[in-house]
Structure 1
Amino acid sequence: MAQLSLSGKVIDTQTGTTLPGATISLNNEVFITTNAQGAYQFRNIRPGNYTLKVSYIGYKQLLQTVAVNGNTSQDLKLTSGNTMTEEVTVSSTRASDKSPTAFTNLNKKDIEKNNSGRGFEFLLEQTPSTVVSSNAGAGVGYTSVRIRGSDGTRTNVTINGIPMNDAESQGSFMVNLPDFASSIDNIQVQRGVGTSTNGAGAFGASINIQTTTRRDSAYAELNNSAGSYGTIKNTVSIGTGLLGGHFTVDGRLSRINSDGYIDRAFSKMKSYFLSGAYYGQKDVLRVNVFSGDQQTYQAWNGVPEEEVRKGNYRYNELGYMEKAKDYYDNQTDNYIQNYYQLLYNRQLTDKLSFSGALHYTKGAGYYEEFKNNEPFTKYGITPVVIGGVTVANTDLVRRLWLDNHFYGLTYNLDYNPSTKLNLKLGGGYNEYKGDHFSNIRWTQQSTTIFPNHEYSRDHAKKTDFNTFLRAEFHPAENILIYGDAQYRRINYSFLGFDRNLNNIQQAVNLNFFNPKAGITVSLNSNSDVYASVAVANREPNRNDFTNSSPDSRPKSERLTDFELGYRYNQTNFSASINGYYMKYKNQLVLTGALNDVGSSIRTNIDDSYRAGLEGNARIRVAKPLTWLINATVSANKVKGFRQFLYNYDTDALEMTQYGTTNIAYSPSLIAGSTLSWAAIKNGEIALIGKYVGRQYLDNTSTKSRSLDDYLITDVRLNYNFAFKGVKNVGVGLLVNNVFSKRYWSDGATYPGISGGVVENYNYFFPQAPINFLASLNVKF
């Protein structure tokens, strides 16, 4: 069939002027923006009827159906609205479609299709360079993501431009926001340093989330999922639509329960999301209040290798009581987090807009654990004499608490003095205050302590200020020159060790300058080539600092990221290829070991790098058949790595010097594939594949301390229909790991020397064999 084009301009109905930078979608699948002259063009499309959706700040959204029977020209006319839209809420922290960086956008349709009840990170599994894992093995509870080999502590996450990463650990724990995907409108994943953003710097990727935006019609939705290992999700969502032409209210209530694949690794989670907005002609005011409450049985150690080799894939050692020969039933993690956001957007003039936010997050919780035969002195308890015998050890139950406050503001000014220049001035100021304290709930032996004896307390405070200026300049219609400079200042006060290994309060002050520059050249209306270089600096996290003394403090990291890529976009075929070289100075790499709460232990490496080639494509093979594919080939290397192993024979540490080795948890090949077939009207079958190459558990490239490569296949079925009184009924089935592949997506290692040889103490996180989630979603 003939390959045709659809082109035209986006025009202000009243003035007749063109509107550069308007967003246009074709059947909600292909997205482009108008150029400096307000023109657009879709190439290589087939004859048929197409729905165009046009959005532009300060104008009413336009939906228009266009019949394409030959090369078609169609101007699109927008009317100035009495209400403003919300595109500017996250624009300051996002890449535009012409930005010289690698990114992937996920719209609401993409999110809904994959929102079956598993953790948020699984929404990202089919984006390039991504590896996802689940502690409990069934996708519910604690889940994690690595992008370009970088874990969650090195991935910047923002919600409506507001930092989400914990100020101390630097991780983002989506388990604390169960079913958050049901309140998300869109996501942008940037790989590498990306654009300047708020919060901790991106050292592998950034994930930018925008929550619920305006919906003009009232609605009610019931979304339910149920499946293997006792997994069940229930969600109720309601919204008023646009009231009086200016107001909206949206709400959601969710609960998710799962037994988990790993023994006792249950999850009990609930959450809510409430949002109210006012839309004026030149401003938008939105208030978001949302919360998550989770209880999960601890599964963060993984399964010992010897149990895996015996086929005990579901074994969980945590909570074992040696005397009772049983497991403690409350070996759990418990946490509640409440978020409050006030977002304001204002069109100050036709060339200048403002967006700002005030935010406050309150988190509190603890994990409870049974400890066998603990020494009294470890908890500040005086040994007791019982029957003439001094008792110095006891079994006990303890709780380790965290109570924190995080608050601040973000701001952004967007200035467009001409069609050739766009300037953004943004940044934020945030404060964190956190109390870490621990108490004893129960002891087997009689002691001198009262109930809930507190044996430690640590108060931490962190302030984080950043400001950035970004410019996009078009010296010619097809050329974009990009510049971005950020200044960031951090002050962190914490309890650490002095030179005599006594606990004392310490403080560090850090100043970072993070410049970025790039260029994009449009070869035609469908293809771009780009290049960029970006610098990022990043502070160590809480564990890095608190495990050090003033003489051995960890160093800040520095990353220089070089990117070179090509993008091609049209209706039936779109593709991109991106090469990157990420050069690190003093990178804090994972040693492979975990601390007592499952967090990774890290060490500074003077010289290391990541280099790779990312490719992805969307191919409309035929009208009902679409293929999405991506692959990353990379080299991730540490130069001159030194490892210290404990020698059980000599009770001393021994050092081994290595040459150039592979960075831990950084597979050299990652690939994904989604082949979807619209077999019948309103129905779809998708075959989903994921391949992850070998992952080393430490930085020595030792095969016996690694995870085998794996290839897994899922099948997703969706069917939608409607009847009188019901807008839509969606029925879905997700079958995970259809071939029951035995694989471990994550792990840890604690090698040591015994009997003169190195012995590996490996732990793996086995993922479930074939399992399913069925869903029923009803919209009114």
Structure 2
Amino acid sequence: MKTVLIAGAALLGTAFAPAWAQGPVSGTVTDARTGDGLPGATVLLDGVAGPATDATGSFVLGAVPAGTHELRISFVGYEPVVRQVQGQATEQRLTASLKPGAVLTGEALVTASRASDRTATAYTNLSKEDLAKRNFGQDLPYLLDQTPSVVVNSDAGAGVGYTDIRIRGTSNIGINMTINGVPLNDPESRGAFLVNLPDLASSVNSLQVQRGVGTSQNGGAAFGASINISTLDNRREAYAETNNTYGSFNTWKNNVQFGTGLVGGHFTFDGRLSRIATDGYMNRAASDLKSYYLAAGYQGKNTLLKFITFSGREKTYQAWNGVPEPAITGNRALLQTYVDNGELSEADAVRVQQEGRRYSYYTYDNQTDNYQQNHYQLHLSQALGANWNLGAALHLTRGLGYYENYRANRRFSAFGLPDVVIGSQTITRTDLIDRKWLDNYFYGGTFAFNYQPKDNDKFQATIGGAGNIFHNDHYGEIIWAQYAANLRPRQRYYFNDATKSDNNAYARATWQVLPRLGVYGDLQVRRIEYKIDGLEDDQNDVTTRANYTFFNPKAGATFTLAEGQQLYGSFAVGQREPVRADFTDRPAGDQTARAERLEDYEAGYRLTRADLSLLGPRTAVRLEANYFYMNYRDQLVATGQLNDVGAPLRTNVARSYRTGLELTGAISADDKISLSSTLTLSRNRILEYRDVTYDANYERVEAAPRTSTISYSPGVVSAHTLEGQPLKGLRLALLYKTVGQQYLDNSANEARRIAAYQVLDLRLRYVIRPVFMKEIELALLVNNLLNREYVANGYTYSYVGFSGQQETFNWFFPQATRNFLASVNLKF
């Protein structure tokens, strides 16, 4: 692999040499008050959008034709800058310092939850262009795959449908996600199911990933990271776009996007319609996904009001069971063990041998998950005098859907039904089809008062908070049964309802105490009240009452060593309530799941320079080294098992920690060649862990306490992107990802693990700007270029089998071998 990358770099470097003779226009866009770079700023040359500014606030436009041109630079919440530039043979470089604008934008609310170089935390900013580079229709986690400490996986194997993201070993139930400051995570399960919002990335104008506890957020606590998404872009020029992708496994993505620009000086309208469909890499793992996004806004001198609605509807064939280990290894003796213990039928075993790693457990043709989620948001940004502004939002999310399941030879009693008596015969079992429904409403409001004095950039403060309520009905219906004498149409066999209120308030401030020294403080109080009433599908009473009050302080400091160099350190406390499954998947009446507490220590060094001359006339460099120590009390860790809808089962462990070093670096030369890398080395441990097994007499055996590795926590994760422009308009990129071995449970047993893997992707993008339209882009993404067979997720369980000995059963989620996605994207 190393040889491949070196050869690729040499080849690309040779190809770029003639291109450097051109004369680009380059520059850096900064905040006039703080001097910080502004990532994601819009750069227009004669009204045509060029690349947005990168993470350092830098941009480069290609060779500019001779003559006079208008360069317009804008960023939400700031006054735009317009410059005249002349096309010439030599490079032109400029710096644009943007002042806070008199006209507010919805970013006032989003900015309140974002980290910056003043908050002493580890974060990564991604602009709309950064996301568009990899947006071929795969789910949002796959667009974040190259960011630090990230591991992604897909149930269906190719990144469409149900996907998951882990950051620092923490799954999405420990990752706080917000859209425009509004919580996205499901309040009960804490998961953020992005399959419900297909093609969301096409409407995102900026995104920030904070690692660790980060800043105070609306919604649940961040126990590994937070992902803050913004769609509040205001595009002043009218536009129309369409993105169309076709690829392996009959994968299709089609969308249209449109906007009026600024109409009458005050109004904007934007929209998107999308459809994504695929057969999936796994057999019988198809997805049919549809979504829309609509926004209407009014902006005045001191006020911005914006209404946004977006929705997603998904139908996915269930692939959350994965495949048994013998389908991966081909071990027939092991396959027989699965059959002997009832984990697979003889017919299943035959299909395992026929289908191999693409085997699917289900054969019923409508074994599907069906769900629709509608979001409504009303945002207000209002100036309150010279130094204050308010960002506020009201929101409503409506979710409704079910998954359909064929169940063979089930007892009537398991569904709360009497046996069927026909003459003298009593029938106790039947085949049936049921649907498990979720019917929910999530609503509330968020606010943030921002203090940003125009005549003093040394002190900034935010006072904010939110109040949210969630109602969710869980119920099951039997829609068909082989023996149905005692059944009514759509017979309901269980019902429980849940209500959860989540309120928080926080105050945050940064203060530049000395020219080189800044401090940061953040205090949050959060109150949760949660109740469940009724029966679960196993006929157990899941009545629950749980209330929590958390106080989460955070503090940090930054020290400027020299221009573009900074040291920082922070301490933060995060506390989090158990999720629904931590209550309902325990024995009836057991409410012993405890809240988790995290003490997060972060320290690091940053170097950002955009004016060096290492590889060409202008070289930009960004380096960061971040050390973290995350000390947990009562962390809820995955046991390796799943419940009947694919959610992980978890248990409290008294003491555990994650510690490690995150190294990131990026270097680019005149926008012609760039290399970015990230490497995370970590140690993830449970102290005094006791492994539980069972002996031949089915007696529980608890091992002596020892230090063990936390499940699903690789010790090494890296990502590398080499990108270049050998010809004008053509960009080539190699993307290399490595993930170390992971254990499926907390025993650190080598027989229960996911092997380390490495994946290389190839991406090509060719842009043409003809006179009759703004842009034509032809793009190709080849995933898993080296055709590796690997798995990225799995689960395990053990019990005393028919042999009288404890047997272990591993199930895995294989990822697709070499596959492609090709796109044609048009901008008008």
TM-score by length of 1: 0.91
| Contact 1:383/1:447 (<8 A) preserved | no
| Contact 2:358/2:814 (<8 A) preserved | no
Do residues 347 (structure 1) and 367 (structure 2) align? no
Number of equivalenced pairs: 755
State the partner residue of 1:726: 773
Alpha carbons of structure 1 residues 434 and 703: separation in structure 2 relative to 1, 3 Å: same
State the partner residue of 2:568: 530
Alpha carbons of structure 1 residues 469 and 396: separation in structure 2 relative to 1, 3 Å: same
Do residues 407 (structure 1) and 410 (structure 2) align? no
| Contact 1:89/1:161 (<8 A) preserved | yes
Alpha carbons of structure 1 residues 516 and 47: separation in structure 2 relative to 1, 3 Å: farther
Choose the corresponding residue for 2:809, options 756, 761, 773.
761
| Contact 1:176/1:335 (<8 A) preserved | yes
Write the mapping of 1:252-267 to structure 2, written as runs, cut at 5 A. Answer: 252-267=272-287
Choose the corresponding residue for 1:608, options 648, 656, 663.
656
> Greater strand share, 1 or 2?
1
Choose the corresponding residue for 2:745, options 698, 701, 709.
698
Q: Which structure 1 residue ranges, 5 or more long, are not aligned?
A: 12-17, 34-41, 320-326
| Contact 1:83/1:246 (<8 A) preserved | no
State the partner residue of 2:361: 318
Choose the corresponding residue for 1:236, options 256, 259, 262.
256
What whole-Å deviation, never above 9, does each CA across 1:720-757 have from its counterpart, x for those lacking one? 00223211000000000011101000000012234454
Choose the corresponding residue for 1:113, options 133, 139, 161.
133
Alpha carbons of structure 1 residues 171 and 64: separation in structure 2 relative to 1, 3 Å: farther
Q: Which moved more, 1:144-153 or 1:541-550?
A: 541-550
What whole-Å deviation, never above 9, does each CA across 1:256-313 have from its counterpart, x for those lacking one? 1100011100001100000011111111111001100000000001100012222744
What whole-Å deviation, never above 9, does each CA across 1:34-85 have from its counterpart, x for those lacking one? xxxxxxxx99x99999978464736235467599999999775768867434
Do residues 392 (structure 1) and 439 (structure 2) align? no
Choose the corresponding residue for 2:577, options 539, 561, 582.
539
Alpha carbons of structure 1 residues 55 and 127: separation in structure 2 relative to 1, 3 Å: same
Choose the corresponding residue for 1:583, options 625, 628, 631.
631
State the partner residue of 1:633: 681
What whole-Å deviation, never above 9, does each CA across 1:208-234 have from its counterpart, x for those lacking one? 000141111111111000000010000
Choose the corresponding residue for 2:784, options 719, 727, 737.
737
Do residues 379 (structure 1) and 421 (structure 2) align? no
| Contact 1:496/1:546 (<8 A) preserved | no
What whole-Å deviation, never above 9, does each CA across 1:604-653 have from its counterpart, x for those lacking one? 00000000000111112676211011000000001111233455x43444
* Helix, strand or coil at the partner of 2:130: helix
Do residues 466 (structure 1) and 501 (structure 2) align? no
State the partner residue of 2:605: 566
Identity, in percent, stands at 42
Q: 2: CA distance between counterparts of 1:540 and 1:409?
A: 23
Q: 2: CA distance between counterparts of 1:390 and 1:28?
A: 72
Q: Which amino acid aligns with 1:334?
A: N
Q: Which amino acid aligns with 1:667?
A: P
Q: 2: CA distance between counterparts of 1:730 and 1:47?
A: 18
Q: Which moved more, 1:297-306 or 1:501-510?
A: 501-510
* Helix, strand or coil at the partner of 1:750: strand
Do residues 453 (structure 1) and 487 (structure 2) align? no
Write the mapping of 1:355-374 to structure 2, written as runs, cut at 5 A. Answer: 355-374=391-410
Alpha carbons of structure 1 residues 67 and 700: separation in structure 2 relative to 1, 3 Å: farther
Q: 2: CA distance between counterparts of 1:105 and 1:10?
A: 16
| Contact 1:614/1:631 (<8 A) preserved | yes
Alpha carbons of structure 1 residues 453 and 722: separation in structure 2 relative to 1, 3 Å: same
Q: Which amino acid aligns with 2:243?
A: N
Report the CA distance between 1:318 and its aligned residue: 3.4
Q: 2: CA distance between counterparts of 1:197 and 1:714?
A: 34
* Helix, strand or coil at the partner of 1:614: strand
Alpha carbons of structure 1 residues 485 and 19: separation in structure 2 relative to 1, 3 Å: closer
| Contact 1:81/1:281 (<8 A) preserved | no
Q: Which amino acid aligns with 1:469?
A: A
| Contact 1:32/1:97 (<8 A) preserved | no
Q: Which amino acid aligns with 1:568?
A: L
Q: Which amino acid aligns with 2:398?
A: K
> Greater helix share, 1 or 2?
2
Alpha carbons of structure 1 residues 54 and 661: separation in structure 2 relative to 1, 3 Å: same
State the partner residue of 1:594: 642
Alpha carbons of structure 1 residues 185 and 423: separation in structure 2 relative to 1, 3 Å: same
| Contact 2:721/2:733 (<8 A) preserved | yes
Report the CA distance between 1:88 and its aligned residue: 1.5
What whole-Å deviation, never above 9, does each CA across 1:653-686 have from its counterpart, x for those lacking one? 4333441111000000000011001111111010
Q: Which amino acid aligns with 1:693?
A: G
Q: 2: CA distance between counterparts of 1:551 and 1:19?
A: 53
| Contact 1:591/1:698 (<8 A) preserved | yes
| Contact 2:76/2:233 (<8 A) preserved | no
Q: 2: CA distance between counterparts of 1:670 and 1:81?
A: 41
Q: Which amino acid aligns with 2:684?
A: N
Q: Which moved more, 1:747-756 or 1:118-127?
A: 747-756
Q: 2: CA distance between counterparts of 1:387 and 1:210?
A: 65
| Contact 2:308/2:376 (<8 A) preserved | yes
Alpha carbons of structure 1 residues 48 and 502: separation in structure 2 relative to 1, 3 Å: closer
Q: Which moved more, 1:50-59 or 1:546-555?
A: 50-59
| Contact 2:412/2:429 (<8 A) preserved | yes
Q: Which structure 2 residue ranges, 5 or more long, are not aligned?
A: 1-19, 21-25, 44-50, 331-352, 611-619
Alpha carbons of structure 1 residues 527 and 69: separation in structure 2 relative to 1, 3 Å: farther
State the partner residue of 1:14: none
Report the CA distance between 1:317 and its aligned residue: 4.4
Alpha carbons of structure 1 residues 70 and 470: separation in structure 2 relative to 1, 3 Å: farther
Report the CA distance between 1:346 and its aligned residue: 0.9
What whole-Å deviation, never above 9, does each CA across 1:138-178 have from its counterpart, x for those lacking one? 11100110000000100000000000000000000000001
Alpha carbons of structure 1 residues 10 and 361: separation in structure 2 relative to 1, 3 Å: closer
Q: 2: CA distance between counterparts of 1:8 and 1:148?
A: 32
Q: 2: CA distance between counterparts of 1:19 and 1:642?
A: 52
State the partner residue of 1:39: none
What whole-Å deviation, never above 9, does each CA across 1:444-485 have from its counterpart, x for those lacking one? 124311121001000100000000000101111222100000
Q: Which amino acid aligns with 1:480?
A: G
| Contact 1:52/1:65 (<8 A) preserved | no
Alpha carbons of structure 1 residues 715 and 502: separation in structure 2 relative to 1, 3 Å: closer
Q: Which amino acid aligns with 2:402?
A: Y
| Contact 1:352/1:416 (<8 A) preserved | yes
Q: Which moved more, 1:140-149 or 1:437-446?
A: 437-446
| Contact 1:747/1:765 (<8 A) preserved | yes
State the partner residue of 1:435: 473
| Contact 1:22/1:56 (<8 A) preserved | no
State the partner residue of 1:779: 827
| Contact 2:30/2:38 (<8 A) preserved | no
Q: 1: CA distance between counterparts of 2:29 and 2:640?
A: 56
Report the CA distance between 1:525 and its aligned residue: 2.5
Q: 2: CA distance between counterparts of 1:112 and 1:636?
A: 33
What whole-Å deviation, never above 9, does each CA across 1:69-123 have from its counterpart, x for those lacking one? 9999977576886743443130111002332000000001101111001111101
* Helix, strand or coil at the partner of 1:190: strand
TM-score by length of 2: 0.86
Q: Which amino acid aligns with 1:242?
A: L
Alpha carbons of structure 1 residues 770 and 661: separation in structure 2 relative to 1, 3 Å: same
What whole-Å deviation, never above 9, does each CA across 1:500-524 have from its counterpart, x for those lacking one? x961633111000000000011112
